[in-house]
Amino acid sequence: MQAEVPNARIPALAAFLAENRSRAHRVMHHLIGLQRPFLLKSDLHDAVEQLCRDDEQLAETALARALFQAQEAAIDASWVYLALRHRVAKWNYLRIHLETMDLNEVTVSEFLRFKEHLATGGHDDPFGLEIDLRPFYREQQKLTEEGSIGRGVEFLNRRLSSRLFDELGKGDQRLLGFLRMHSYRGHQLMLNDAIGTVAELRNALRQAMIPLRRRPTHTPYTDLASELRGFGFEPGWGHDAARIRETMSLLLDILEAPSPQTLESFLSRVPMIFSIAIVSPHGWFGQSNVLGRPDTGGQVVYILDQVRALEREMHQRLAEQGIDIEPRVLVLSRLIPEAEGTSCNERLEPIAGTRNAAILRVPFRNAAGEVLPHWVSRFHLWPYLEGYALDAERELLAELGGRPDLIIGNYSDGNLVASLLSQRLGVSQCNIAHALEKTKYLFSDLYWRENEERYHFSAQFTADLIAINTADFVITSTYQEIAGTDDSVGQYESYSSFTMPGLYRVVSGVDVYDPKFNIVSPGADEDIYFPYTDDQRRLVHLHAEIEELLFGGPRDGESRGVLAERERPLLFTMARLDRIKNMTGLVDWYGRSAELREQADLVVVAGHVDPGRSGDDEEREQIETMHRLFEQHGLDGQVRWLGIHLEKPLAGELYRFIAERRGVFVQPALFEAFGLTVIEAMSCGLPVFATRYGGPLEIIEDGLSGFHIDPNHGADATALIADFLRRCAEDADCWRAISEAALARIEERYTWRRYAERMMTLSRVYGFWKYVTDLERTETARYLEMFYGLQFRPLARTMAW
């Protein structure tokens, strides 16, 4: 995003450069000497620290401070361009001439053009396609404080209530229209035609309250229905006299003087959500035998838990409002005929632990219209999605007997399909990213061409931009997913400006100050991940199997390494065998750390041991690397690598089994969007050492409820773990303190109960917002449709399919 807020560092820097040319030259020549056109934050940081060793006062100068604030530098023979991020999501771009040390501020577009020129060697291209959504934001209300980012619904409630106040006063009928539009299968809810104006509504509410006050609290709605209907009220106000009174008083308060709290409480009761479609096409979406396969991890766990929690919440809310309707939740995923022993070839699969929820699978079709039989990686599915959306729409409507009331997209592919569906059906859309790939791979945008064949980021980032901007609201698991930290750029923030040379440059793609962003963190299934101390519930019958898994002999093609001793504490890690998960990194650090090897053994549950069993390029590479590390460090007696996919109850008991033996869980990812394994382990009371890049930074309070490790400094990580284990060996309280704090942290922040309550309230508030502001969105929708037609479609269609 372009500079809006003055950055006090810039005039100070200009003055410093003018007055200290030779000192500045020395610094700049050091940067040039690194001989790289692009320097990242960490490179700049290291460079300045090195310079400060010879020139101690340098650290106090405006130049050093600016370089510390820079996220990126782009350098050629004459210029250094810097991207400064002086506050969360507030950027300034400037350039310094290497001879004269003149400084000018440049626009984001100029900065991106300079990067394009450096990356491709091409000429500056002022007429290259620019994507700029800023003009569409002009009318919108935006947050101003970085501390408010991710709390969009609170902001919206405040805005909505004051707007309602103004507009109701001017005789606005929209609230009335909104209350009248609710119906279920032809049955009117909330209000009927007897009430035609706001004054009549107020009057009817007052009238209805008189007999309601006289009735005993628990008088059921059925006994009150005909009387209420006479006043103009249909079902939906409450299941008994007390609840109806409360709902009506809330509305009377709103008509009198709306406050954010009453508005939220009232809206959260309105029966608006009877069915939800959750879109998640990629990977293997099933209830067993899928986790740990390529592209199949936390998202599947998240959605299945989410479905259970949402269904329970929907059911409860409808029952409280006196509406006897079974809510429906459908997960739209992909039907894979070659199902490899999973249920992914079944069209409809009921979801365990729910009353009425199911997975609805719809196949992909190739260019000739034939059903695609095999699994496809999430990086190669772009050409299939449009046809999929149309087929899915048909099946969804047939299955639900009408439109869903909310569509939730998941990950880039699901969010794009959710955008297509919600536009066509006129339904509210919620996005959940799970992980945005852009920040995971270095220079994934700038050098997109080099990665195109393998990853197709061009289509993915285009899809992301479209989906983020069409969504009515976005749910994230953490703050940093949206807006990063003081030092790091948020995943969503990284879409605010970037360039894919030769394709298009984005000067304003996403604004993290948009009130559509809301942090609603997931939990871990409490029936599966409960504390190791909860003896009554422990799955003792699985212990023999776990002993065999951990300490047994070789398993045919499924394991490598046999632990020589049984008594030592265990380091445990479990993830898909993706490069980013850095399982091989952890094994390498462990292999190199004599002190850690002395303290504990390592158990790795990841991927396959036999590369012949893997159908994924990245996974095969990791398998080969893992074997090489076993050889290189002689790990066969100390590391147990299990190439199996654990079912959840077994995984849950395994965390507890390891906790009981005073072990720890390690999550060493190079980057982790959220990290469900982290909260699972913590929910079992197992202390966690997890990457400081991504979600775990926020989940864990370092040194209190677990520890942060830096995957770029493996030796420090192993020293930290070894030191912890040494202290725990001397003093058992040391381990217990972390374990207890981890449990407390989960209870406070990461539960599905809280999630479902928030999600249901958000969907109502944003639904209301959409209803009262719908007109303002047409321009954006049209712009995005053009972007879809002119960019996404050709990109997707030129892929092999």
Segment near ligand LCN (CB under 6 A); pick from 366-374, 588-596, 646-654, 666-674:
666-674
283 binds ligand UDP (CB under 6 A): no
Q: Which spans in 516-613 are helix H?
A: 543-551, 583-592, 594-599
Contact of residue 164 among ligand UDP, ligand LCN, none (CB under 5-8 Å per partner type): none
- Count the residues in the chain: 801
> How is residue 485 written in tokens?
């930290």
619 binds ligand UDP (CB under 6 A): no
298 binds ligand UDP (CB under 6 A): yes
Q: How far is the CB of 275 from ligand UDP (least distance, A)?
A: 26
> How is residue 5 written in tokens?
């807020």
299 binds ligand UDP (CB under 6 A): yes
Q: Where are the beta strands (DSSP E) in 113-200?
A: 130-132, 183-184, 187-188
676 binds ligand UDP (CB under 6 A): yes
- Nearer CB in complex with ligand UDP: 146/610: 610
291 binds ligand UDP (CB under 6 A): yes
Segment near ligand LCN (CB under 6 A); pick from 130-138, 293-301, 345-353, 444-452:
293-301
Q: Which of 152, 283, 297, 363 binds ligand UDP (CB under 6 A)?
A: 297
Segment near ligand LCN (CB under 6 A); pick from 78-86, 277-285, 548-556, 673-681:
673-681
Phi, psi of 30 (to 5 degrees): -65, -45
* Alpha carbon distance 205, 229 (integer Å): 12
- Nearer CB in complex with ligand UDP: 425/646: 646
Residue numbers 548-587 binding ligand UDP by CB under 6 A: 574-576
Contact predicate 54/40, CB 8 Å:
no
* Alpha carbon distance 89, 5 (integer Å): 11
Contact of residue 680 among ligand UDP, ligand LCN, none (CB under 5-8 Å per partner type): ligand UDP
Residue numbers 85-104 binding ligand LCN by CB under 6 A: none
651 binds ligand UDP (CB under 6 A): yes
676 binds ligand LCN (CB under 6 A): yes
Q: Which of 285, 302, 513, 665 binds ligand LCN (CB under 6 A)?
A: 302
Q: Which of 298, 327, 591, 714 binds ligand LCN (CB under 6 A)?
A: 298
Residue numbers 203-262 binding ligand UDP by CB under 6 A: none
* Alpha carbon distance 457, 503 (integer Å): 12
Contact of residue 764 among ligand UDP, ligand LCN, none (CB under 5-8 Å per partner type): none
- Nearer CB in complex with ligand LCN: 298/668: 298
Do β-strands 275-279 and 406-410 pair in parallel, antiparallel, or remain unpaired? parallel
> How is residue 759 written in tokens?
């999600």
* Alpha carbon distance 276, 127 (integer Å): 43
Contact of residue 648 among ligand UDP, ligand LCN, none (CB under 5-8 Å per partner type): ligand UDP
In the bound state, the residue with its beta carbon closest to ligand LCN is 298
* Alpha carbon distance 530, 647 (integer Å): 16
674 binds ligand LCN (CB under 6 A): yes
- Nearer CB in complex with ligand LCN: 663/675: 675
In the bound state, the residue with its beta carbon closest to ligand UDP is 297
Q: How far is the CB of 585 from ligand LCN (least distance, A)?
A: 17
In this structure, what DSSP letter does residue 240 have?
Answer: B
Contact predicate 709/668, CB 8 Å:
yes
Q: How far is the CB of 198 from ligand UDP (least distance, A)?
A: 48
Q: How far is the CB of 538 from ligand UDP (least distance, A)?
A: 18
546 binds ligand UDP (CB under 6 A): no
Nearest to 376 by CA among 346, 407, 344: 344
Segment near ligand LCN (CB under 6 A); pick from 15-23, 559-567, 593-601, 672-680:
672-680
Segment near ligand UDP (CB under 6 A); pick from 244-252, 330-338, 673-681, 686-694:
673-681
Residues contacting ligand UDP: total by CB under 6 A: 19
Phi, psi of 569 (to 5 degrees): -60, 155
Q: How far is the CB of 433 from ligand UDP (least distance, A)?
A: 12
**Rounded to whole angstroms, what are the CA distances from 207 to 191, 219, 223, 325, 534?**
14, 18, 17, 28, 54
Exposure on the CB side of residue 677, measured as CA atoms within 13 A: 27
Contact predicate 509/133, CB 8 Å:
yes
**Rounded to whole angstroms, what are the CA distances from 76 to 59, 79, 312, 581?**
25, 6, 59, 35
Contact of residue 651 among ligand UDP, ligand LCN, none (CB under 5-8 Å per partner type): ligand UDP
Do β-strands 517-519 and 504-508 pair in parallel, antiparallel, or remain unpaired? unpaired
**Rounded to whole angstroms, what are the CA distances from 180 to 183, 233, 271?**
8, 10, 12
* Alpha carbon distance 449, 452 (integer Å): 5
* Alpha carbon distance 80, 37 (integer Å): 9
- Nearer CB in complex with ligand UDP: 644/781: 644
Contact of residue 112 among ligand UDP, ligand LCN, none (CB under 5-8 Å per partner type): none
Q: Which of 385, 435, 635, 765 binds ligand LCN (CB under 6 A)?
A: 435
* Alpha carbon distance 177, 174 (integer Å): 5
Q: Which of 673, 681, 684, 762 binds ligand LCN (CB under 6 A)?
A: 673
Contact of residue 397 among ligand UDP, ligand LCN, none (CB under 5-8 Å per partner type): none
> How is residue 599 written in tokens?
């303290």
Residue numbers 628-647 binding ligand UDP by CB under 6 A: 645-646
752's CB contacts (< 8 A; 6+ apart) are 305, 306, 308, 309, 522, 523, 525, 526
Nearest to 149 by CA among 631, 668, 540, 516: 516
694 binds ligand UDP (CB under 6 A): no
- Nearer CB in complex with ligand LCN: 292/675: 675
- Nearer CB in complex with ligand UDP: 66/673: 673
* Alpha carbon distance 189, 739 (integer Å): 49
- Nearer CB in complex with ligand UDP: 575/629: 575
Phi-psi region of 694 (alpha: psi -120 to 50; beta: other; left: phi over 0): left
* Alpha carbon distance 339, 316 (integer Å): 36
648 binds ligand UDP (CB under 6 A): yes
User: What is the contact mask toward ligand UDP in residues 15 to 54, using x (rule: CB under 6 A)?
Assistant: ----------------------------------------
675 binds ligand LCN (CB under 6 A): yes
- Nearer CB in complex with ligand LCN: 109/439: 439
| C-alpha radius of gyration, the chain, whole number | 28
Q: At what angle do helices 714-730 and 732-749 cross, to 10 degrees?
A: 110
**Rounded to whole angstroms, what are the CA distances from 725 to 165, 547, 572, 591?**
60, 22, 13, 17
470 binds ligand LCN (CB under 6 A): no
- Nearer CB in complex with ligand LCN: 395/672: 672
Q: How far is the CB of 180 from ligand UDP (least distance, A)?
A: 43
* Alpha carbon distance 47, 66 (integer Å): 13
Contact of residue 645 among ligand LCN, ligand UDP, none (CB under 5-8 Å per partner type): ligand UDP
* Alpha carbon distance 688, 739 (integer Å): 9
Q: Which of 131, 605, 658, 684 binds ligand UDP (CB under 6 A)?
A: 605
Question: Applying CB under 6 A, which residues contact ligand UDP?
Answer: 291-292, 297-299, 301, 574-576, 605, 645-646, 648, 651, 674-677, 680
Residues lying near ligand LCN in the complex (CB under 6 A) are found at 297-299, 302, 434-435, 477, 672-676
